């Protein structure tokens, strides 16, 4: 379709055009950049469900629009990695970044052919569902919490079946990996970009297997972090040769010799005073990982008595930060959860394609749409998203 017939970009403002040019600049082909701009504009302008057919109608009434969007999302060889890095840089440059965090996204599915679909127990719903499960990397910032990267969790039943892999166009390099492995993949990408690597991480690892491996992985890459872990997380005294124990038990043994730090934090605008116990630990070495040896981490435990039923535990690399600053950073660990719910407005649940590249292309576009709304004044966003703003 000739570039002049694309309707969705014309609904955009100067802000949208500038944003699209910046984020989609890594796309080498001009037609890919035009279709990306069109798809982004359609996601922002179409109310309700974001099916390909409805998005195509916002782009152009011509039948070729549906074919063009279909080709762009499902068949285009565009590399989503550079686009996502460009998106992350745009948010970091303009959004006053505070922390990296991660969150899970469950996408219910009816059939069995969408890439990665499987049966799993959903703790929120209290029942087993047929779904895709994704992990998102979010940048918590003053403008809100914005997704900038995604991984799709694939079970061995998908990765070991060559016919299934071929049908879903899963790249040879993609293997079945646990959720914590995807977190370390995100960390590797962030650490390779000097404009992003200085932003600290805030993670809730209480339900994450191999939480200690994640902590060590962040530290090896020179990334600052605060990670909440379970009381039973294996730990070693910072100095000496004592055997490993659960973090809660280890701190309970030492905290009587250390007075708590009283910190002030604001909760819903009201000051709250907490007694926090600070300490130092090492982590046991793991198979295939460098020894925990000399690396010492700071720990925080509170509120209340260490070892008590309500106590919470954090491990951090931020040895020079005040306790209240570390806890303020730790609160960003939950920032991705409301952002995941908000993503429903940008079509993350509506993609009907079945391929691995198609899913990643759509999630990249939905993330860009979400970021644009955070980087633009609310009044401008509402005008852009009004139903009568779509081009005929």
- Give me the numbers of helices (H) and strands (E) for the chain, helices first please: 14, 12
Check if the beta carbon of residue 297 is closer than 8 Å to that of residue 279: no
pLDDT at residue 256, as a whole number: 58
**How many C-beta atoms surround the C-beta of residue 187 within 10 A?**
23
Confidence class of residue 275 from pLDDT cuts 50, 70 and 90? Answer: confident
Number of domains in the chain: 2
The whole domain housing 248 covers 201-317
pLDDT at residue 161, as a whole number: 92
| Domain-located, residue 101 | no
367 and 313 in a common domain: no
364 and 277 in a common domain: no
In whole angstroms, give the CA distance from residue 59 to residue 390: 8
302 and 371 in a common domain: no
218 and 301 in a common domain: yes
E strands along the chain, which residues?
Answer: 97-108, 118-122, 127-141, 144-152, 201-204, 225-229, 234-237, 245-246, 261-267, 270-282, 297-302, 312-316
377 and 286 in a common domain: no
| Domain-located, residue 121 | no
Helix then strand then coil, % of the chain, to nearest 5: 45, 20, 35
279 and 222 in a common domain: yes
373 and 280 in a common domain: no
pLDDT tens readout for residues 6-37: 444 444 578 899 999 999 999 989 999 999 99
| Domain-located, residue 305 | yes
pLDDT tens readout for residues 340-377: 999 999 999 999 889 999 999 999 999 999 999 999 84
| Domain-located, residue 92 | no
Check if the beta carbon of residue 222 is closer than 8 Å to that of residue 200: no
Identify any residues that bridge with 103 across adjacent strands, giving them in sequence order. 136
pLDDT tens readout for residues 188-224: 999 999 999 999 999 999 999 899 999 999 999 999 9
Q: What is the DSSP string of 48-103?
A: S---HHHHHHHH-SSTHHHHHHHIIIII----HHHHHHHHHHHHHHHS-EEEEEEE
| Domain-located, residue 383 | yes
| Domain-located, residue 212 | yes
Question: Among the three residues 284, 317, 350, which one is the final residue of a domain in this structure?
Answer: 317
Give the single-character DSSP code of 242.
Answer: P
- pTM for this predicted structure: 0.88
pLDDT at residue 265, as a whole number: 63
Question: Among the three residues 288, 317, 346, which one is the final residue of a domain in this structure?
Answer: 317
367 and 278 in a common domain: no
Identify any residues that bridge with 139 across adjacent strands, giving them in sequence order. 100, 146
Asked whether residue 92 carries a pLDDT value surpassing 60, the answer given is yes
Q: Which two tokens stand for residue 40?
A: 């982004």
365 and 269 in a common domain: no
For the chain, give the mean pLDDT.
Answer: 86
pLDDT tens readout for residues 287-344: 555 554 578 999 999 876 666 677 899 999 999 999 989 999 999 999 999 999 999 9
In whole angstroms, give the CA distance from residue 370 to residue 43: 9
| Domain-located, residue 169 | no
| Domain-located, residue 325 | no
pLDDT at residue 305, as a whole number: 62
Q: Which two tokens stand for residue 360?
A: 């990643």
Question: Among the three residues 262, 295, 317, which one is the final residue of a domain in this structure?
Answer: 317
pLDDT at residue 5, as a whole number: 42
């Amino acid at each position: 379709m000739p570039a002049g017939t694309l309707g969705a970009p014309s609904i955009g403002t100067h802000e949208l055009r500038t944003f699209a040019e910046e984020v989609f600049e890594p796309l080498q082909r001009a037609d890919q950049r035009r279709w990306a701009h069109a798809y982004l504009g359609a996601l922002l302008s179409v109310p309700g469900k974001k099916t390909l057919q409805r998005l195509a109608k916002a782009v152009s009434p011509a039948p070729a629009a549906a074919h063009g969007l279909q080709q762009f999302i499902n068949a285009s060889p565009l590399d989503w990695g550079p686009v996502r890095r460009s998106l992350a840089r745009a948010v970091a440059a303009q959004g006053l970044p505070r922390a990296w965090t991660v969150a899970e996204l469950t996408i219910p599915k009816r059939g069995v052919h969408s890439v990665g679909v499987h049966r799993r127990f959903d703790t929120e719903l209290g029942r087993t569902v047929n779904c895709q499960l994704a992990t998102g990397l979010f940048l918590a910032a003053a403008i809100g919490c914005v997704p900038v990267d995604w991984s799709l969790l694939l079970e061995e039943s998908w990765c070991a079946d060559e016919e299934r892999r071929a049908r879903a166009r899963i790249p040879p390099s993609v293997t079945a990996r646990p959720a914590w492995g995807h977190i370390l993949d995100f960390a590797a990408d962030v650490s390779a970009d000097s404009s992003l690597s200085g932003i600290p991480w805030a993670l809730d690892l209480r339900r994450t297997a191999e939480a200690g491996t994640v902590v060590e992985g962040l530290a090896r890459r020179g990334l600052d972090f605060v990670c909440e872990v379970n009381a039973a997380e294996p730990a070693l005294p910072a100095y000496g040769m004592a055997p490993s124990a659960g973090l809660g038990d280890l701190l309970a043994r030492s905290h009587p010799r250390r007075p708590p730090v009283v910190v002030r934090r604001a909760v819903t605008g009201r000051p709250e005073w907490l007694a926090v116990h600070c300490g130092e630990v090492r982590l046991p070495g793991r198979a295939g990982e460098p020894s925990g040896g000399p690396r010492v981490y700071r720990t925080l435990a509170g509120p209340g008595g260490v070892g008590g039923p309500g106590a919470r535990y954090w491990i951090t690399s931020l040895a020079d930060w005040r306790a209240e600053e570390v806890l303020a950073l730790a609160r960003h660990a939950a920032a991705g959860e409301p952002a995941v719910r908000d993503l429903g407005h940008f079509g993350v649940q509506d993609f009907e394609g079945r391929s691995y590249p198609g899913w990643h292309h759509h999630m990249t576009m939905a993330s860009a749409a979400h970021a644009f709304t955070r980087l633009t004044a609310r009044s401008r966003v509402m005008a852009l998203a009004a139903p009568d703003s779509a081009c005929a």
